[in-house]
A and B are shown apart, each in its own frame.
Chain A
Amino acid sequence: MSQENAQSVLNAEPLSDADQQIDDAINKEYSAGFVSNIESDTLEAGLSEDVIRFISGKKNEPEWMLEWRLKAYHQWLEMEEPEWAHVDYPKIDFNEISYYSAPKSMADGPKSLDEVDPDLIATYNKLGIPLHEQQMLAGVAVDAVFDSVSVATTFRENLKEAGVIFCPISEAVHEYPDLVKKYLASVVPVKDNYYAALNCAVFSDGSFVYIPKGVKCPMELSTYFRINEAKTGQFERTLIIAEEGSEVSYLEGCTAPMRDENQLHAAVVELVCLDGAKIKYSTVQNWYPGDAEGKGGIYNFVTKRGIAHTNSRISWTQVETGSAVTWKYPSCVLKGDNSVGEFYSVALTNNYQQADTGTKMIHIGKNTRSTIISKGISAGKSSNAYRGLVRFNAGADGARNFTQCDSLLIGSECAAHTFPYIESKNPKAIIEHEATTSKVSEDQLYLCQQRGIDAEKAVSMIVNGFCKDVFKELPMEFAVEAGKLLEVSLEGSVG
C-alpha cells in the first residue's frame, strides 16, 4: 500500500500553488507528529529513578507498581554483577543501555519481504516457516487483515470461554492487580540476583497467564503466540499461575531468528503451580548469536523458576541455539509433597557462542521427584557449560533425582564443561547422576558419507539423534522445527 502511494506522488503533475500549500500543511502535520513521536518514545541511555518513572508512566501504571519498581531499582544498585558463570564477555556498562524504546512502528519496517536480508529469508525457508509468519518475523508492515489475526481472535474467544486469562502483563497490572500483587516476585524474589532485580526495575512487558481451578487450558499457548507475539522488548516478564488441578502448556520463542537490536536481554519467568496442577513450559531460543568472528550478538541473562505445590508437576523444556552469551537456569522449587520437577534441555553453541545453562531442583517436600536431561552440543570455537544444582532439604524424605548430562563435541576447538552440584541434608534421598562426553567421530561421518549422505546432513542427523530424548518432550510440531533449527545453526561447522 505505502509503496503504491509513494509511487503515485512521484508521478503526480506539478501542483498548483493552493494545492501545494494544502499539501505542505498535510505533510507538515504528519512529519511534526512523527518527530514528536520519536522524541517522546525513545529514551536516552542510562538508568535512574526518572527513567523508571518514565517507563512506569508510559504504561500508565498504578502507584503501587511504580513504587515496586523503584524499590527494586534501589536494591539493584546495591548488588554486584555475578561473575561465577563460565562465560567471558566485556563488562556491561549499564548506563550505556537505553531502557525504553517504544515498539517499532509498522511503518518503519521493510515494506515487503523483497526488502529483507535474503540470508534471513533463506533461513526462514530452511525452517519451513509459512510466508505470512515470515513477514511478521521480519517486521514487514502487513496492513491487510491477514488470516492469523482472525485466527488469534478465535483463540482469544476459546480461552475466554474456558476462563483462562492470557494477556500482556502490563494489561494484567490494570485488570488483575490482586493476582499480580499476590504472585509477582513470589517465586523469584526481587533480590534473587542482579539481573532479576534489574528486570523488576525496568521490565518492559511479557505474558500473564492464569488458569482457573480444574481447568485444562484448551490449547497450547504456543499456537497463539507464534502468530500474535508482540515485541516484548529486552526485559521480558512472564507470570504463569496454574490454580489447583489445572493444566497448561506454554511455549515461548520461535525457531526463526528474530529481528532485534537490543544487546542485553534479562527476562524473568515465574511459574506458580498450585496443588495438583501441571505446567509445561517450552522455550526455543534463537536470538542473534553474533557473526562467525564472534562480533555482536545478544547477551541473554534469564531467571526462570517455578514453585511446585503438593502433587503438582513443572516441566521445563528448552532448545537454546541463539545468543552470544547465555546464562540461564530454569529451576523448580519442589515445595509440596509428591511434586515433580523436570528439565529437558538442548543447548547448542557454534562459532564463538558461550552458554552456561542448566537447572536447579530444590527438594523440600516429601517424595518429591526430579529429572534432568541435559544435552550440550559445542561446535566451532564455542564453549558450552552445564551447571546444575540438586538440593535435598532435611524434610525431603523419599525424594529422588535422576540426572543425565551429555555433551557432544563437533570439531577440535570447542569446549564442554559440566558443573554438577549436589547438596543433601537428607540421608535417605536418592540421586543418580550419569554424564557422558562424546565427539562426532570421523568414523561416524565416514559411515554416513559412504552411504551417500553429505557431511552437513550427517552431522545434523547425528546431533538430532543425540537430542532425541529432549525433542520428544517438545510439542509435536515444534520438535520437527527444532530439528531443522539445529541443522541451520550447525551450518559450516564441518569443514
Chain B
Amino acid sequence: MLTIENLQANVSDKNILKGLNLEIKPGEVHAIMGPNGAGKSTLGHVLAGRDGYEVSGGSVTLEGKDLLALECEERAREGIFLAFQYPVEIPGVSNMEFLKASVDAVRKHRELPAWDAVSFMKKAREACTAVNLDQQFLKRGVNEGFSGGEKKRNEIMQMMLLEPKLAILDETDSGLDIDALQVVANGVNALRSPDRSFIVVTHYQRLLDFIVPDYVHVLADGKIVKSGDKNLALELEEKGYGWLEGESA
C-alpha cells in the first residue's frame, strides 16, 4: 500500500525527518508514537502534501505511484486522508456543502458514479449517527463553534464518507474524554478493512486499547528507532522514551 524510503523533510529550513523508512500493507494499522518534536505530525503533513513541508530526500509510493509528485488535493483524491489534530473552522460554509464538494471531487477522480443529493444526504446522516453527531451539524459551518470533541468526530465522519485507502489520524485522541474516545475508535474500527490502512499518531497508549494496532513504531529525532507489536506501546507507557535514546544515534 504505502512504502516510505529514507524520507527526509524540512519545515522552515529545519530538518525534521531524517531518513524515515516504513512499509504499510493493505489492511494494516500502524501506530506511531514518540516524544514531542520527534516529527510525528510532520510525517502526516508531508504525506498529505502540505505547503511549506519540503521533502529533501527519499521516496514515498502509494500503490506504486510516486506520491510526492502529486499536489495535496490529488493525494487526497488518490485516497490519502488526514484527520487533523486541530481542525480549522470555515465560517459560513456548511458542513454539508463542504462534504459534497469533497466527496464529488474524490469520487470523480476515482471514476466512481457521483452521489445524487438524496443518496449523499442518506450517507451523510448515517455517518453522523455512527459518530454520535446530531444531524444539525451538517447544516452548521465547517467546525464553526464545534467543541473539541465535536471537531474530532466531524473528522471521522468525513473519513467515513471519503472512504480513503490510507487514513492518517494525527493525535485524534488529544482533548477527548473517554466516551468521545470510544466513539472515535468505534468509527475507525468500523472502517477497518483488508484494503484500507491506517497510521495512528498518538502520545498515549490508551487510544490503542480501542484501536488495536498491528504494529507500533517509535519515532525519535526524525527516524523510526524501534518497531514492535501492540505490546511495545505498553512498554512505552511504563518506561517512557528515555531508554530508546541510544538507538536513534
Contact = CB atoms under 8 A, between A and B. Distances in A.
Interface of A: 441-444, 446-455, 457, 461-462, 464-469
Interface in B38-64: 48-52
Nearest to B110: A452
B240 interface: no
A465 B92 contact: yes
Given A451-B98, A468-B92, 11 more contacts: A441-B88, A444-B90, A446-B72, A448-B101, A448-B102, A449-B73, A451-B76, A452-B73, A453-B105, A464-B92, A464-B93
A444 B81 CA distance: 16
A441 B142 CA distance: 14
Interface of B: 48-52, 71-73, 76-77, 80-82, 84, 87-88, 90-94, 97-98, 101-102, 105-106, 109, 141-142, 158, 162
18 contacts: A442-B51, A442-B52, A448-B73, A449-B76, A450-B48, A450-B73, A451-B98, A451-B101, A451-B162, A452-B102, A452-B109, A453-B98, A453-B101, A457-B101, A465-B90, A467-B92, A468-B92, A469-B92
Given A447-B87, A452-B76, A452-B77, A462 B101 contact: no
Contact of B105 (A452, A465, A469): A452
A465 B97 CA distance: 10
A450 B76 contact: yes
Given A442-B51, A461-B98, A461-B101, A449 B72 contact: yes
A79 B23 CA distance: 78
Contacts of B80: 450
A479 to B, nearest CB: 14
Nearest to A446: B50
Nearest to A445: B51
Contact residues of A: prevailing secondary structure: helix
A67 B72 CA distance: 67
A328 to B, nearest CB: 24
Contact of B91 (A443, A450, A454, A466): A466
A447 B73 contact: no
A232 B76 CA distance: 50
Contacts of A466: 91-92
B105 A461 contact: no
A454 B73 contact: yes
Contacts of A441: 88
Contacts of B82: 450
A461 B105 CA distance: 14
Nearest to A440: B90
Interface centre among A447, A451, A468 (most CB of B within 10 A): A451
A464 B72 CA distance: 22
A455 B92 contact: no
Nearest to A457: B101
A461 B73 contact: no
Contacts of B93: 461-462, 464-465
A483 B151 CA distance: 27
A446 B41 CA distance: 15
B162 A452 contact: yes
Contacts of B97: 461
B141 A453 contact: no
Contacts of B52: 442
A447 B101 contact: no
A447 B109 contact: no
Contacts of B50: 446, 450
A446 B52 CA distance: 11
A465 B71 CA distance: 25
Nearest to B75: A450
B105 A454 contact: yes
A441 B90 CA distance: 9
A446 B91 contact: no
Nearest to B144: A465
In this complex, the member of A442, A454, A465, A469 whose beta carbon has the largest number of chain B beta carbons within 10 angstroms is A465
Contacts of B162: 451-452
Nearest first, the 8 closest Cβ-Cβ pairs linking A and B are: A465-B92, A465-B93, A451-B102, A452-B105, A452-B76, A449-B72, A443-B88, A452-B106
A450 B70 CA distance: 12
A447, A462, A468 pick with most chain B CB within 10 angstroms: A447
A452 B109 CA distance: 9
Contacts of B141: 465
A452 B77 CA distance: 5
Contacts of A454: 73, 105
A326 B94 CA distance: 31
B28 to A, nearest CB: 22
A391 B168 CA distance: 56
B90 A450 contact: no
B229 to A, nearest CB: 30
A65 to B, nearest CB: 48
A461 to B, nearest CB: 5
A374 to B, nearest CB: 15
Contacts of A442: 51-52
A448 B76 CA distance: 10
A323 B81 CA distance: 42
A190 B84 CA distance: 60
Contacts of B49: 449
A44 B87 CA distance: 62
Nearest to B89: A444
A447 B88 contact: yes
A457 B100 CA distance: 13
A412 B245 CA distance: 43
